Amino acid sequence: SQQGEEDPQALSIQEGENATMNCSYKTSINNLQWYRQNSGRGLVHLILIRSNEREKHSGRLRVTLDTSKKSSSLLITASRAADTASYFCATDHHDYKLSFGAGTTVTVRA
Amino acid sequence: GAVVSQHPSRVICKSGTSVKIECRSLDFQATTMFWYRQFPKKSLMLMATSNEGSKATYEQGVEKDKFLINHASLTLSTLTVTSAHPEDSSFYICSANRDRQADIQYFGAGTRLSVL
């Protein structure tokens, strides 16, 4: 069943700006992951944060996790046109299956 | 990295025919593969979990006789959409774990199915 809800649904920013998107979920998790999907393609794993972690960085990506609020955020700094894609959060609820959010469509304008 | 190949990327078929989609892990053995369905501008809905050498586990509401899954080897899982109808038109994506303990899923590029 779908657990994650993402906000906003769509985001349009200028190249060089930061993009922030949020994900909320309903039940306890083992970990939370963020994936990226280019139009009409499969998903690419970006970053995983475990339930006992609060923040994680990978290149221009920063992910936070607040288990008390059951929410996570993904920040993309210094965005580039190539960052244009849909971004999905996915939660692992201790069963190795992933429940995906509805996604945030990010458009980076050159 | 871990590469998952999905074939075909696009298929158009007549109503009533069956369509087979292949998902292969190219550089690792995948004991578990997952099949998802994605509607336009929507999230991925897990259809079933495919386990090598055993029957697939289907999510609630997914017809196992409609969507046949075979995971005959550690590198190949197939999804067959039987007697396809226009409402089966969708984007189907597979993914694989490196092993049962792995957290990260590696995705194929997806298959766009259009049933006329």
Say if A29 is an interface residue toward chain B (CB within 8 Å). Answer: no
CB contact under 8 A, B43 and A103: yes
Residues of B in contact with A43 (CB under 8 A): 44, 93, 95, 105, 107
Q: What's CA B7's distance to the chain center, in Å?
A: 10
* pLDDT at B97 (0 to 100): 85
Tell me the DSSP string of A15-49. Answer: TTS-EEEEEE-SS--SEEEEEEE-TTS-EEEEEEE
Q: Which residues fall within 8 angstroms of residue B95, CB to CB, at 6 or more apart?
A: A42, A43, B4, B33, B34, B36, B105, B106, B107, B108
Nearest alpha carbon to residue A75 among A19, A6, A16: A19
Residues 6+ apart with CB under 8 A from B54: B71
Does the pLDDT at position A2 exceed 80? no
For residues A22 and A38, what is the distance between their CA atoms, to the nearest angstrom? 19
- Taking contacts as CB-CB distances below 8 angstroms, the residues of chain B near A4 are 43
Per residue in B28-37, pLDDT (tens digit) is 888 889 999 9
Closest-CA residue to A63 (of A45, A39, A41): A45
Report, as an integer, the average pLDDT of A52-56. Answer: 97
Q: Which of B34, B60, B109 sits opposite A41 (nearest CB)?
A: B109
pLDDT value of residue A45: 93
Considering only CB atoms, A100 lies closest to which of B6, B44, B112, namely B44
Q: What is the pLDDT of residues A31-45, one digit of tens each?
A: 999 999 998 889 999
- A40 and B114 in contact (C-beta within 8 Å)? no
SS3 call for A28: coil
Write the pLDDT tens digit of every residue in A77-104.
Answer: 999 999 999 999 999 887 778 999 989 9
| Span B69-85, pLDDT tens digits | 998 888 999 999 999 99
What mean pLDDT, rounded, does chain B reach?
92
Contact A33 B103 (CB under 8 A): yes
Q: What is the pLDDT of residues B50-71, one digit of tens each?
A: 988 888 999 999 999 999 999 8
